[in-house]
Amino acid sequence: MTLAEIFAQSGAAMWGTCAFDELNMEENRRAQALSLCENAQGVFVAAYPYFAGQRPGNLSLYARGEDYHRVLLRRLNQVVLSLQELYPGYRFVPGSDNSPLDERQCARLAGVGIHGKNGLVIVEPYGSWVFLGTILTDLPLPSAAVPAPDCLNCGACVRACPGGALGAQPFDESRCLSALTQKKGALSPEETALLAAHPLIWGCDICQQVCPYNQRAVCSPLPDLTGSGDLPYLDSLTPEDLEGLSNRTFRAKYGDRAFAWRGPAVLRRNLELKKQQN
What is the signed CA dihedral for 242, 98, 4, 106, rounded to 10 degrees?
130
- 245-to-223, 251, 252, 269, 276 alpha-carbon distances in Å: 28, 9, 10, 14, 22
Going by C-beta distance under 8 Å and a sequence separation of 6 or more, which residues neighbour residue 91?
37, 38, 137, 138
Q: What is the Cα–Cα distance from 101 to 111, expressed in whole angstroms?
A: 16
Q: What is the Cα–Cα distance from 183 to 191, expressed in whole angstroms?
A: 10
Asked whether 234 and 225 are in contact (CB, 8 A), the reply is no
Q: Count Cβ atoms below 10 Å from residue 234 Cβ, excluding itself.
A: 17
Task: Please tell me which residue in 21, 97, 138, 256 is annotated as part of the active site.
Answer: 97
Q: Count Cβ atoms below 10 Å from residue 278 Cβ, excluding itself.
A: 6
* Nearest residue to 254 (alpha-carbon basis) of 223, 227, 231: 231
Q: What is the Cα–Cα distance from 194 to 165, expressed in whole angstroms?
A: 12
Q: What is the Cα–Cα distance from 151 to 70, expressed in whole angstroms?
A: 29
Q: What is the Cα–Cα distance from 179 to 258, expressed in whole angstroms?
A: 14
- 51-to-37, 159, 190 alpha-carbon distances in Å: 32, 23, 31
- Residue 97 known to be catalytic: yes
Q: Which residues are catalytic?
A: 97
